[in-house]
Amino acid sequence: MSVRVENLHKRFVVAAESPPAVNGVSFAAPTGGITSLLGPSGSGKTTVLRLIAGLERPDSGVVCLNDQECTRVPVQRRGVGFVFQGYALFQHLNVRRNVAFGLKVQRLAKGEIATRVDELLELVQLKDLGERFPEELSGGQRQRVAFARALATRPKVLLLDEPFGALDSRVRVELRHWLHELHSKMPVTTILVTHDQEEAFELSERVVIMQGGKVEQVGSPHDIYDRPATAFVASFIGNANAVRAQADDGRQATAYVRPHEVKIVKADASTSEVSVATVVTMQRVGGYVKIEVRLATAERMTVQLPRAEADALGLREGDRVMVDLGDAKVFVGDYSI
């Protein structure tokens, strides 16, 4: 079942002047795929997810599930399953009963519930932990129970709101691979809200970039990385540097370039002063070196080089270098970020 939203608007009236949380959002999430909503905190991702679920009503706009409009259909009748950031398991119920919860509400026969719970625990690799209580599980295990519970009623759409957000980074990466496998075994149409670029890029075939309640770009991870549509996307993806530039027509513009895409060579006596930059600081971070340079315009820029490359250049703080912005993305307008 595909998900499509058209021109969604939602304003929470907190103060008279409060800006809309969601301001004209449209996109489609294809059947059986994972679509990510990626954006900084406060960009409206959770609100869009809640509008799709039916937990909020839009001020205007349309939600369609499988080409059927369901903007006014109550949450219980939309056939969606959720997993949120906090595990929100029932603390007084063991794992089996947590997973069985939605099935009991649907009044399935006992034997059928038991069989389904067995299948789900197998699917989320918690077969032997059915009798444990949530407090006896690790964070990653609890979140897998939450997935099993969300999938129990065989939802047609799975909505995930920062499902790994509360976990430490190693467990996040493990669960990311786990979710990828789970989804290939059970390809439910999924919408994943995240602020983690790697998570969005690794897991989904379509990424919706949000900022300030609006969609900045919709595309494949490659599209978004290689061809950012707006200055915001160019700056946000890959934590790009922003430096003043001039557009072809002479207008003021900003060039965005990612730290690992900047090339550096040592300057020599013949280098003209306007193109000389100075190495301000160098810091080794694991396998690469983070170099801060000051351009002739006094703007600062972060450059990231593999350690071997930095060693080969023999760079020191205070060195004069030339930087090549390579494949910088240029957008008309002053720094927008």
**Distance, CA of 119 to CA of 107 (rounded, Å):** 18
CA 7 to chain centre: 21
- The H or E element containing residue 163 is none
Nearer to ligand ADP, 37 or 328 (CB): 37
| Bridge partner residues of 251 (DSSP) | none
Question: Rounded to the nearest whole angstrom, what is the least distance from the CB of residue 239 to ligand ADP in the complex?
Answer: 18
Tell whether residue 335 is a contact of ligand ADP (CB under 6 A): no
Tell whether residue 14 is a contact of ligand ADP (CB under 6 A): yes
**Distance, CA of 103 to CA of 118 (rounded, Å):** 13
What are the φ and ψ backbone dihedral angles of 204, each rounded to 5 degrees?
Answer: -120, 155
Answer whether 215's CB lies under 8 Å from 317's CB: no
> Which of 36, 46, 197, 204 is the binder for Mg ion (CB under 5 A)?
46
Question: Rounded to the nearest whole angstrom, what is the least distance from the CB of residue 45 to Mg ion in the complex?
Answer: 5
Question: Rounded to the nearest whole angstrom, what is the least distance from the CB of residue 58 to ligand ADP in the complex?
Answer: 13
* CA distance to 9, 81, 251, 317, per residue, from 75 (Å): 18, 10, 50, 59
Find the part of the chain contacting ligand ADP (CB under 6 A) among 37-45, 77-85, 219-227, 306-314: 37-45
Bridge-based pairing of strands 189-194 and 34-38 is parallel
Q: Which does 21 bind (CB under 5 to 8 A by kind): Mg ion, ligand ADP, none?
A: ligand ADP
Q: Which does 43 bind (CB under 5 to 8 A by kind): ligand ADP, Mg ion, none?
A: ligand ADP
Question: Rounded to the nearest whole angstrom, what is the least distance from the CB of residue 220 to ligand ADP in the complex?
Answer: 21
Question: Rounded to the nearest whole angstrom, what is the least distance from the CB of residue 198 to ligand ADP in the complex?
Answer: 17
Residue 230 Ramachandran class (φ > 0 left, ψ -120 to 50 alpha, else beta): beta
Go through 163-192 and write b for each residue having 16 or more CB atoms within 10 A of its CB, e for each that does not: bbbebeeebbeebbebbeebbeeeebbbbb
Question: Rounded to the nearest whole angstrom, what is the least distance from the CB of residue 40 to ligand ADP in the complex?
Answer: 7
Q: Which does 129 bind (CB under 5 to 8 A by kind): Mg ion, ligand ADP, none?
A: none
Residue 225 DSSP SS3: helix
Tell whether residue 12 is a contact of ligand ADP (CB under 6 A): yes
Find the part of the chain contacting ligand ADP (CB under 6 A) among 36-44, 107-115, 118-126, 174-182: 36-44
Tell whether residue 16 is a contact of ligand ADP (CB under 6 A): no
> Which of 3, 8, 29, 39 is the binder for ligand ADP (CB under 6 A)?
39
Residue nearest to Mg ion (CB): 46
**Distance, CA of 236 to CA of 230 (rounded, Å):** 10
Question: Rounded to the nearest whole angstrom, what is the least distance from the CB of residue 19 to Mg ion in the complex?
Answer: 16
**Distance, CA of 52 to CA of 144 (rounded, Å):** 23
Tell whether residue 45 is a contact of ligand ADP (CB under 6 A): yes
Nearer to Mg ion, 27 or 256 (CB): 27
Q: What does the binding site for ligand ADP look like in residue numbers (CB under 6 A)?
A: 12, 14, 21, 39, 41-47
Instruction: Give me the residues that bind Mg ion (CB under 5 A), please.
Output: 46
